[in-house]
Amino acid sequence: MRAAVVQLNSNSDVGSNLERAEALVKAAAGDGAELIVLPEKWALLGPGDVIAREAEPLDGKIVTATRGWANDLGVHLCAGSVPEDPADGGKPYNTSVLIDPSGEITATYRKLHMFDVEVEGTVYRESEYERAGDDLVTATAGGLELGMTVCYDLRFPELFRILALRGATAFTVPAAFTAVTGRAHWELLLRARAVENAAFVIAAGQVGTSEPHYDSWGQSMIVDPWGRILAQLDDDGEGYACADLDLAELERVRESLPALANRRGDAYEWPVEAKA
């Protein structure tokens, strides 16, 4: 399967973001991509109150547009993450949507881990305007079983391990990693998650600055089960990158270094919860 990551410098102008995303999705499909992954908050990246105000149900204009692209192009499209307005009227979810080549939604994953951190004096409090999901999600896309994640989830290896044990052969990681943490950890964590689980990692990131204080790292990439970077964008702007995913190579890695099969589940005891 040929996969692609799309890198964007999104903002709070939904119309402009949709236009640029569509152009890059079409370009990636024209380059032979069968699975295309958009970044986190690709359609709307801005202050928390704006995201909360502009959130839509999954039958809104944002997801409807991506369903049309997938259908027209005949591709699997992971619509990164979008602000989903829930039926109960509460805080929106940060939701990743997987769409099949007929334009049907085949899976939705709501980001589990809220980015409530302080990085070099900049405070991020996603939970102030968004709510966390509760469910782990895998879904089929062509010859792949995708484990769906979003951005900060990358720092929680137990999530990726459980998805792998549930059959995931690739992980989608739409993200808006900060430039500070991205410079230090982005590539390191992506390659680690690939090697630990002998799986492909398809990571599409935001790049550049956006209101109110976003400075995103970019460096979108596709990593193979041996930890090799198959395709990568730099940090100087929007674009896409494609790579062919060799499913036979995945099987070779899992057979020659069967870490998943060699686990000792009977010997592990979950530790006491860490204190915040």
Whether residue 80 contacts residue 35, with contact meaning beta carbons closer than 8 Å, is answered with no
Task: Return the structure tokens found at 45.
Answer: 């990246």
- What whole-number distance in Å separates Cα of residue 33 and Cα of residue 75? 7
Q: Would you say the C-alpha torsion 127, 210, 57, 147 has a positive or negative sign?
A: negative
Number of neighbouring beta carbons within 10 Å of residue 24: 20
- Residue 196: C-alpha distances to residues 144, 159, 163 (Å): 18, 12, 12
Q: Which DSSP category does 61 fall into?
A: H
Helix and strand numbers (H, E) in the chain are: 7, 17
Return the active site residues: 40, 111, 151
Q: In the structure encoding, which two tokens stand for residue 125, read together?
A: 């409090």
CB 165 within 8 A of CB 136: no
